[in-house]
Structure 1
Amino acid sequence: MSQANEILFIASLLVLVSIFAGSASSRFGVPFLLVFLGLGIFAGENGPGGIVFRDYELTYAVGSAALGIILFDGGLRTHFATVKLVVGPALALATVGVLVTAGIVGAAAHFALGLGLLESFLVGAIVGSTDAAAVFFLLNVKGMALQKRVSGTLEVESGINDPTAIFLTMICVELLRLGHPPETLHLAGLFLAQMLGGLLVGLAGGFVLVGLFNRVPVAGGLYPIVAMAAALLVFSGAHFVQASGFVAVYVAGLVVGNRRHRGAQVILRFFDGLSWLGQIVMFLLLGLLMTPKDMQPYLVGSGVAAAVLILLARPAAVALCLLPFRYTWREIGFISWIGLRGAVPIFLATIPVLANVPHSEVYVTAAFICVVASLTLQGWTIGPAARLFGLELPPPPEAATRTDIDLGSALDRDIASYRVEANAPALGYRFAELPLPRRCRIISVLRDGTVMDRQKLEGLEPGDYLLVLAPPEQFFSLDRMFTARRQTRAQRRRRERGEEVFGEFVLAGDTLLGEVGVLYGFPVDDKDRNDPVGAYVRRRLRHRPVVGDRLRVGPIELVVREIRNDRVTSVGIELEPEDHPILRGFRRAFGFD
């Protein structure tokens, strides 16, 4: 009994210390996940804590469950429109990209660590995939907005690339144990079955779960518990039919997150905290497993492998996979740099340990060094990198002043409560003239505890509370109306100089290009003169446009500001664009402009 209490005490203390240490360190820009990993090492065998922990089986089991929860949460927060936009490129990165990365890192490990070819490729396979926990977490916790094509590619890739890395790792481990390769066709069929099986299991599990939510009423507080149990059931059940549990649980989260059902808001809030807990526990356990004293003989070679991974292997794989999809070099550069590694490589490094494969300590060390290097170099520089490549957008409004009231699946609208912030766009309109999105209605306005008469109300004031009835897809537009927009420091500096984030002037998408040419003094071909500027931008861009896309036209630059129903409806104009986008990004990233 005393031992159980001691374990519970230590575990609770570590989690609490991790949370508060992570919050404090974020003021200095230190990635949270690196803090959790560091605290695990600090409490471990070679640290002041002196906790001896070598239970790889427990780590593997807990890590699997935590990754399942994190992937389900990532699926809940990913829109089908985002998946549709990037599914081809993300799938290429999740398969061919992982294979190319593993091959290049394996070649580096062969020379730097002195391993055989198969052992070296195993090192590459272990670190070949980006980490869903790190990507979902760091892209969101930094409080910035990126071009949707870029952020969507990173998120969807990290959600579906684990099966490739796991598959390659398991094949290498089996080859090292058995000494002979399986048939190529058998390997290809097995991998295809894993991916397609995971997709089918995830779709089935997601639709069944949505059906249960809508047809079997349970107590409100039990919805997130049901969702958690179902996510773990899908994750573990996929393995029984030889399918990928990682793909299955991510797809199930996608289905649940994009279908209307009871308890949607409470499930999202619950999984937000649960995914945090999963990351904390996973990184703490992985940190406890690390013994720096045993790693010393392999640190230099592992450092070389990490450098090759970040500076050569990832960029080569990204360029190879994304150039056919007409990504710009700015997008390729950023996606190459943000190839975040997190818990997954260390988690995969436990597989050869559990299989008693020789040189297991080398695999663990290499994975650990790659993760630390990635979280330190790449995780610490996400913001400057986004500005360097010109891909950072104005942050979306925080919905902290919004409280959702879930009306269930019977209706296609929900109720939300807003507190109107100072400088919110809605304050510039008379109440009767508020430009509410379609099918949205303000039910009531409360001011100083009094329900106001909407018929006599002239306008809103900061601090007013509103009850709004609206379709779920319109809440983002309402957030922008009632919430003051956040700005990065670089954006505030630009606005103080009179520069807009998307250029100095704004045009409606239906403005004729010929009129723009006359107004701003650049030649326009006769065949393009009667084209709306939004349609012209869409045609000239070599890919489906997203907010933030830039197009050079003569001496000016057109910037996509707003897209509705797949149409460019608002365009910004930059009158004096930099000749070199990367130079412009460098100046903005480091405050030289």
Structure 2
Amino acid sequence: MPVSIEFILLWVSVLILISIFSSKLSDKFAVPALLLFLIIGMLAGFEGPGGIYFDDPYLAKTIGIIALIFIIFSGGLDTSWKEIRPVALPGFFLATAGVFLTAFIVGVFSVFILKFSLLEGLLLGAIVSSTDAAAVFSVLRSRHISLKSPLKPMLELESGSNDPMAVFLTLSFISMLTVKNIGVIALTSRFVLDMGGGALVGYAMAKMSVWLIGRLKLEYDGLYPVLTVSLVLLTYSLAALLQCNGFLAVFLVGLIMGKHEFLNKKMIMRFHDGLAWLMQIVMFLTLGLLVFPSHLLPVMGAGLLIAIVLMVLARPVSVLMCLLPFPMVLRKKIMVAWVGLRGAAPIVLATFPLLAGIPQADTIFNVVFFVVLTSVLIQGTSIPLVSRILNVDAPMANKRRYPIEFEKIEGIDAELTDLIVPYVSEAVGKQLMELNMPGKCLIVLISRGDRYIIPAGQTVIEGGDVLLVLANEHDLAALQKKLASLREEDNA
């Protein structure tokens, strides 16, 4: 008897609601949300209380790929180009050479631990080689801490851009296992086409997307997020049809679009942030449903050994070798090595061998699932402690929320910025009209304690006030200098 659509929608809505509620536990106990999503999926599965039978690797792979497309795009869109530019080179090394070294080391040890052939071991290594920094930063946010420069932008860049390399290696080793006579030269040319073509498609689509959003002038604002969804899917499909890396293309579209100002940018970013969360929940629930917990028990010992090799040998060695040419203190390099959490991408990639008919595919899938769980559980929960031990933690800046928004678009040379008035500033006690403000500088709101004040010429400035200022870069600097000037009695 076929299952009704109403029953399916009921289960989907209930599982998503439970996942959303579980995110509160993630914040409270510093457990990455993805771990909770996976556990919820397993509990809802055939061997759990939910009893849902799901054994369709193709559907799971399809859902996973679609979810990764939007997660990777959102990650690129939310990444600050100004922050990652100084760490672009080390981030590139980590996302390419680091992934390869991790895959190689894990692959070699898999030959001895799992009695795999070298190619099967390298396939397993490639699948678990990419990292998921979203889990890292969710843990840090729950503890209201961040990481010292340049760790945060470096990890963001690495995690956002290392999935394409992992996908390439996975598909290459599957090809070598299923097709005869594929040599190094063929793989090298495929790598150039895969990465180079993906980069070209991503760059071209990013420029076209920014131009199109700026020129289309849609009548309804709600259509702009729909437009970006179609452009993201178009980017991936074009790259894939051209035999290029679609994930790299999508990441570059997000990264380059984030660098530009365009109409409704804030709304589009908020939409894709929410969409990325929905995709993560759906993907993790699906992958949790796909696994049978009883199948994990036979590989638990081997999976634990592989996880240990990955966490304490493969990842640290690859990070230290990739960062060797760059001036960074050892404790920061150690932190980069320790926060290499495994997330959704390895489990999605683990469905590839299942569909390709690789003899060890079931073992690979279950080992990968166990490795991801172990990595998230051990590394994820220990990140706050390790960051304090290594003295690389930093207070997380509290972002103020204002009852007013400003969106910079083409043709407006101004930004909305908040400035704190020092208690010893010469501006304290003066009315706004006495400040002799720069010509193109406007104070639009004052935050004082728990109150917001709409400024007027007679408004008196107090120490500790937060001024919400609309100004260009030059005039903002002049106002900052004026506010930083000390009163005469404090200068004496």
Give the TM-score normalised by structure 2.
Answer: 0.88
Deviation string, structure 1 residues 208-257 (Cα, Å, up to 9, x no partner): 11111111111212222211221222122211112111111111111111
Name the counterpart of 1:144.
Answer: 145
Name the counterpart of 1:456.
Answer: 458
**Aligned AA (1:61):** T
Other structure's SS at 2:405 match: strand
Kept after mapping to 1: 8 A contact 2:90/2:323? yes
**Aligned AA (1:225):** V
Name the counterpart of 2:489.
Answer: none
CA distance in 1, matches of 2:329, 2:344: 30
How does 1:156-555 map onto structure 2 within 5 Å? 156-178=157-179, 180-218=180-218, 219-401=220-402, 403-406=404-407, 408-414=409-415, 429=425, 430=428, 432=432, 440-443=441-444, 454-460=456-462, 468-471=469-472
CA distance in 2, matches of 1:105, 1:436: 62
Other structure's SS at 1:404 match: coil
CA distance in 1, matches of 2:26, 2:142: 13
**Aligned AA (1:455):** G
CA distance in 2, matches of 1:474, 1:370: 53
Percent sequence identity over aligned pairs: 38
Kept after mapping to 2: 8 A contact 1:113/1:302? no
Name the counterpart of 1:554.
Answer: none
Other structure's SS at 2:443 match: strand
1:64 counterpart = 2:61:
no
Please report how far the alpha carbon of residue 428 of structure 1 lies from its aligned counterpart in structure 2 after TM superposition.
6.3
**Aligned AA (1:395):** M
Kept after mapping to 1: 8 A contact 2:28/2:142? no
Kept after mapping to 2: 8 A contact 1:442/1:468? yes
Structure 1: tracts of 5 or more residues without a match: 483-593
CA distance in 1, matches of 2:421, 2:45: 52
CA distance in 1, matches of 2:299, 2:203: 43
Name the counterpart of 2:486.
Answer: none
Deviates more, 1:97-106 or 1:81-90: 81-90
Structure 2: tracts of 5 or more residues without a match: 484-492
CA distance in 2, matches of 1:475, 1:61: 49
Other structure's SS at 1:50 match: coil
Please report how far the alpha carbon of residue 27 of structure 1 lies from its aligned counterpart in structure 2 after TM superposition.
0.8
Deviation string, structure 1 residues 165-188 (Cα, Å, up to 9, x no partner): 11111122122222x341212211
Please report how far the alpha carbon of residue 24 of structure 1 lies from its aligned counterpart in structure 2 after TM superposition.
2.8
CA distance in 2, matches of 1:33, 1:439: 47
| Counterparts in 2 of 1:369 and 1:415: CA distance versus 1, 3 Å | same
CA distance in 2, matches of 1:275, 1:288: 20
Name the counterpart of 1:535.
Answer: none
Other structure's SS at 1:145 match: strand
Kept after mapping to 2: 8 A contact 1:69/1:231? yes
Deviates more, 1:256-265 or 1:237-246: 237-246
Please report how far the alpha carbon of residue 38 of structure 1 lies from its aligned counterpart in structure 2 after TM superposition.
0.4
Please report how far the alpha carbon of residue 127 of structure 1 lies from its aligned counterpart in structure 2 after TM superposition.
0.4
Please report how far the alpha carbon of residue 189 of structure 1 lies from its aligned counterpart in structure 2 after TM superposition.
1.4
Higher helix residue share? 2
